[in-house]
Structure 1
């Protein structure tokens, strides 16, 4: 940011800030003066006392996702800290008299495990009140139980939920910031704490939960609030030296660059207003453990997820950069839990266990893998069986039989263990979001676009920058919650190709004959899925056609498990539905299929355990084979995801989100060669998570 523009911004804000802050109204009609004292934002003159010489310690958590209960490994070592030991750690640090201690959270605190979901996160919110948190950022999953529940969190918590960039009808839904003063007799120990939420929330929770909610550009909004605070402080003779930015943004490579926590940290390091001040970015969302300095005064820290760690940033006297560390779960194995929190956790657990102990399957002969780094990357046995449950219901549960079923890997949250009973609780652990099954009417083109998006993630690389390969020697996709697990379809793809050309061919199962036929782009199909995707979640905006709805997914899955032959799902990564294959091998298989029966022109690669061509009967010639250049019907995508997302967010458009994988040939003919060039450039951009 240029110095002249900053001075202009500060000057104009200084004139307006007192009036704006004095009359600030939240989106739900609450004025700042009506907020509880702990949440009220006050900017007053600093007391005329000496500056503190104590250390400053910031303790922080992020992406806990309902890990209320401590977990241990077979060696007795703590692997998930749990709330009772978390309370003990926070209490021990806060009791130290040689430091000022701030306790904060960077979002996604309430939703996750069924034990927390059973109360929609409300019981965990009550636990957090006993831990003396100072502030929390709003994460995308805070919206998972609906907008009304988010507002209820605000009522339950005795500390503020913060988000500077979340708006309804032009007003902020949450407080943008709070000022924490640990000792009012000491000058210089105040913390300005600002919250910011990922704009990915519009597709990383159910779209109906954020109807009318707008997520503005994170960097712009944070810098705007900093300018307001500094202007107001100057007007009353105050000075703030400590800024804590609670960011639920993350550093995923699949997140648009403009929306990453690292981008925010870089922008804050370049902000002249913050020169000479301590700035720490406490981040979440990407579930990574990362610590890094930016410039001379910005410290970035993220502590992973699921209470595997507690983050700690320590500032020695007059240091501008903090020392970020992690308090690991293993290190607190022998820590005595906080007795009060332990009793609360036990009460919650006993009630939950009684409700969810009902056995659905006496014993699972196989492990069904819900590992995040597997189910979001490629076909898995858990994804197959859940999709099969949706497909099976779709044959009788709607007015029309479903042709295929899909569910997003990000919605599968737990592994089903081998040689153990499958209970109601373990099913809910796999499907914790309370989604219902939906059937939507789609075209073949919608299906083509859907799978293009599903397979459009960037590729994984190792620490040397080399591609990580799957079991077939093909480059492995980066984990994406939008990766689709499927039933009733076969999709052949090559990750060596550009994202928009990876889909080599698609076959759809005919529900009447049971035979697979090539996708017809002009045909109407019936797609069974969850209501999250049906509403355009995870950026699947090509869906959203006429819809029928059914029961909850966990109910459908439980019913299917009772009769399913689980031994059929023994292969963790079957590669028989979403089929990773090189284009060269695919074309060889096409030729092999022609040689077997020259009257058929349908792709049917061998070597992937597909039905024999000779037993399938004559079928129509497919309309398109995506990766064959001489048969391509794809158009270039719209402008790059990042360019679209940034421009939309800055213009304050509702639900501004990157559109990944869009293919619209009509745009090229309407807008001409210039837009085509822009679209081609956009092919190489990183897609959303």
Structure 2
């Protein structure tokens, strides 16, 4: 009989889980009910259950099966703040992943965190455009030579490739991460990231010409638009499984989660898929490939994984009456993109015994009261600037100075603050899990006045795309003990027209450009990321004060019985359209 060359590959996929190990409340609309209902979706225990079912179904149908994670498992919740990569390693191991891509948030704390993660995981970490070949010897936590790191192969000039064999067929899998990793994360300087498209082209050629494999899966942490562009511009990829941009493909309008992006975008002969974020959903793709690796046909969708409970509010304080509950359950059970499932008992047990008790303790720890709601916005608008970010900066200043660092002022990027806050109790969990979820060290550093001035302008230019191609508005600077005026219609390099710092006495003085000051920021900002480039050239390197962002604000909040929005946020930024 002639040899069958086409075959069907089933791929389960998740991305950007960000330590969301527990189910998350989601608001859903149900046909026939005026009010929206709340259910809990996702979480690692349910992912384990569903992925196991997908694997068993594929085996029963005679299909090949892969379970892939497209990166960014670090950060996001109290679990990461408390346990860093340890909880992720143990819980991801329980999911039985075939591979995971390296995300940018895996590098928020530098290479050492990735090195330790690699020592505890049981699946390959794909980072094909990460060149660790010139890593400095004798590092405490090296990357070079780690068997589960599929980095850039300098000999072949392409990504290291994971090959899976399914009977007569082979699938080659490799991964790439964002090109601008050094701009938005903290990889060590001796381990650069190479241009992803070059690596993808070289790797496809290697897989086809040297390995003789046509079925090629790219596990990407480039972002959805870049994945689509890669599919359009590069020939030879069968499937791109993506992450980074949190795109939930599929039509969820049936439950009020309207999304016009179809599941499985086919461009030329390549399929692109992505599964949202925060472990809310899991994707399942069944793709039949021709002998040349091109897509013949495909089916699949993203699925929300719901539990048994329903309520009328996210806190579960208001229950549905019996009739509405039964009607809602029946409606949801009929939806093809909703799965009702019980979470895996082993995953639940690990969470409940090793990690959840510490999280629950933080949820009951009230650190202060808020008399009023506090608004957060990145770039000031017609209502004004953020009311929270300046308080976060006050916290940085407080934590540094009670430890005797004699800091003059604090600077923090707006993107490091994540939410507005409602009036009432503020718990440690609110701070570490929602307000400041990025577990990043605070650093004391010594810039000159000229460097401070240039860093502020660079950060605002970056946030507003004023004369530069910015990386996002999260770089906008907020301060404590420092005030400035930014005029966007001035020539580049001259847009900070006033710059002053505050003495302990309360007096304001002009910053002297040649003088050196002591400042405190996150490790991210102090190392010159996203527009703060002027801080890359400090005479002495920033020094950690041994406190992370959330702990700093918790310290500051405990010392203030009632936090209020500052009367003067000390920022003087006027949008260009309003300048005369």
Same fold (TM over 0.5): yes
Give the corresponding residue for 1:356.
362
- In the alignment, the residues of structure 2 paired with residue 502 and residue 297 of structure 1 have an alpha-carbon distance, to the nearest angstrom, of 50
Q: Is the 8 A contact 1:378 1:483 kept in 2?
A: no
Shift of 1:114: 2.1
Q: Is the 8 A contact 1:83 1:345 kept in 2?
A: no
Q: Is the 8 A contact 2:238 2:271 kept in 1?
A: yes
Q: Is the 8 A contact 1:493 1:582 kept in 2?
A: no
Q: Deviations along 1:221-253, whole A, 9 cap, x unmatched?
A: 22222222222234xxxxx3321101111257x
Q: Is the 8 A contact 1:508 1:518 kept in 2?
A: yes
Q: Is the 8 A contact 2:484 2:572 kept in 1?
A: yes
Q: Deviations along 1:46-92, whole A, 9 cap, x unmatched?
A: xx984376643322111111010002247663455111111222122
Give the corresponding residue for 2:129.
165
Instruction: Find the residue that maps to 2:95 and give its secondary structure.
Output: coil
- In the alignment, the residues of structure 2 paired with residue 204 and residue 283 of structure 1 have an alpha-carbon distance, to the nearest angstrom, of 18
Give the corresponding residue for 1:569.
565
Q: Deviations along 1:243-278, whole A, 9 cap, x unmatched?
A: 1101111257xxxxxxx4444333323xxxx2xxx5
Q: 1:264 aligns with which of 230, 234, 248?
A: 230
Give yes or no for the alignment of 1:347 onto 2:353: yes
Q: Is the 8 A contact 2:176 2:221 kept in 1?
A: yes
Q: 2:18 aligns with which of 17, 41, 65?
A: 65
Correspondences of 1:118-197 after superposition (within 5 Å): 118-170=82-134, 174-175=149-150, 176-181=160-165, 183-184=166-167, 187-188=168-169, 190-197=170-177
Q: Is the 8 A contact 1:180 1:191 kept in 2?
A: yes
- In the alignment, the residues of structure 2 paired with residue 365 and residue 251 of structure 1 have an alpha-carbon distance, to the nearest angstrom, of 41
- In the alignment, the residues of structure 2 paired with residue 577 and residue 514 of structure 1 have an alpha-carbon distance, to the nearest angstrom, of 13
Deviates more, 1:360-369 or 1:85-94: 360-369
Shift of 1:297: 0.8
Instruction: Find the residue that maps to 1:386 and give its secondary structure.
Output: helix
Q: Deviations along 1:92-119, whole A, 9 cap, x unmatched?
A: 2222233433210111113331213433
Deviates more, 1:129-138 or 1:152-161: 152-161
Instruction: Find the residue that maps to 2:447 and give its secondary structure.
Output: strand
- In the alignment, the residues of structure 2 paired with residue 300 and residue 395 of structure 1 have an alpha-carbon distance, to the nearest angstrom, of 50
Residues matched between the structures, number: 494
- In the alignment, the residues of structure 1 paired with residue 564 and residue 373 of structure 2 have an alpha-carbon distance, to the nearest angstrom, of 12
Instruction: Find the residue that maps to 1:91 and give its secondary structure.
Output: helix
Deviates more, 1:424-433 or 1:57-66: 424-433
Instruction: Find the residue that maps to 2:123 and give its secondary structure.
Output: coil
Q: Is the 8 A contact 2:400 2:545 kept in 1?
A: no
Give the corresponding residue for 2:33.
none
Shift of 1:406: 0.8
The 1:283–1:492 alpha-carbon spacing in structure 2 relative to 1, beyond 3 Å, is: farther
Give the corresponding residue for 1:487.
480
Give yes or no for the alignment of 1:300 onto 2:296: no
Q: Deviations along 1:329-377, whole A, 9 cap, x unmatched?
A: 56547322223323323334433235535624253334445688999x9
- In the alignment, the residues of structure 2 paired with residue 421 and residue 293 of structure 1 have an alpha-carbon distance, to the nearest angstrom, of 43
Shift of 1:552: 0.4
Q: Is the 8 A contact 1:106 1:284 kept in 2?
A: yes
Q: 1:581 aligns with which of 561, 574, 580?
A: 574
Give yes or no for the alignment of 1:550 onto 2:545: yes
Shift of 1:321: 6.4
- In the alignment, the residues of structure 1 paired with residue 274 and residue 380 of structure 2 have an alpha-carbon distance, to the nearest angstrom, of 23
Give yes or no for the alignment of 1:81 onto 2:42: yes
- In the alignment, the residues of structure 2 paired with residue 130 and residue 52 of structure 1 have an alpha-carbon distance, to the nearest angstrom, of 34
- In the alignment, the residues of structure 1 paired with residue 339 and residue 355 of structure 2 have an alpha-carbon distance, to the nearest angstrom, of 20
Shift of 1:436: 3.4
Instruction: Find the residue that maps to 1:569 and give its secondary structure.
Output: coil
Give the corresponding residue for 1:405.
410
Question: What runs of 5+ residues in structure 1 fail to find an aligned partner?
Answer: 1-47, 235-239, 253-259, 461-476, 588-689
Give the corresponding residue for 2:211.
233
Shift of 1:502: 9.0
Give yes or no for the alignment of 1:113 onto 2:118: no
Shift of 1:196: 1.0
- In the alignment, the residues of structure 1 paired with residue 532 and residue 74 of structure 2 have an alpha-carbon distance, to the nearest angstrom, of 26
Give yes or no for the alignment of 1:287 onto 2:293: no
Instruction: Find the residue that maps to 2:446 and give its secondary structure.
Output: strand
Give yes or no for the alignment of 1:451 onto 2:464: no
The 1:127–1:396 alpha-carbon spacing in structure 2 relative to 1, beyond 3 Å, is: closer
Shift of 1:518: 4.8
Q: Say which one has the larger Rg.
A: 1
Instruction: Find the residue that maps to 2:517 and give its secondary structure.
Output: strand
Q: Deviations along 1:628-670, whole A, 9 cap, x unmatched?
A: xxxxxxxxxxxxxxxxxxxxxxxxxxxxxxxxxxxxxxxxxxx
The structure where helix makes up a greater share of residues is 1
Give the corresponding residue for 1:612.
none
Shift of 1:526: 2.8
Question: What runs of 5+ residues in structure 2 fail to find an aligned partner?
Answer: 28-35, 135-143, 151-159, 250-260, 307-336
Instruction: Find the residue that maps to 1:341 and give its secondary structure.
Output: helix
Give the corresponding residue for 2:222.
249
Q: Is the 8 A contact 2:231 2:268 kept in 1?
A: no
- In the alignment, the residues of structure 2 paired with residue 328 and residue 373 of structure 1 have an alpha-carbon distance, to the nearest angstrom, of 34
Q: Deviations along 1:567-613, whole A, 9 cap, x unmatched?
A: 5228xxx89433442458555xxxxxxxxxxxxxxxxxxxxxxxxxx
Q: 1:511 aligns with which of 499, 503, 509?
A: 503
- In the alignment, the residues of structure 2 paired with residue 203 and residue 309 of structure 1 have an alpha-carbon distance, to the nearest angstrom, of 29
Give the corresponding residue for 1:626.
none
The 1:456–1:263 alpha-carbon spacing in structure 2 relative to 1, beyond 3 Å, is: farther
The 1:368–1:60 alpha-carbon spacing in structure 2 relative to 1, beyond 3 Å, is: farther
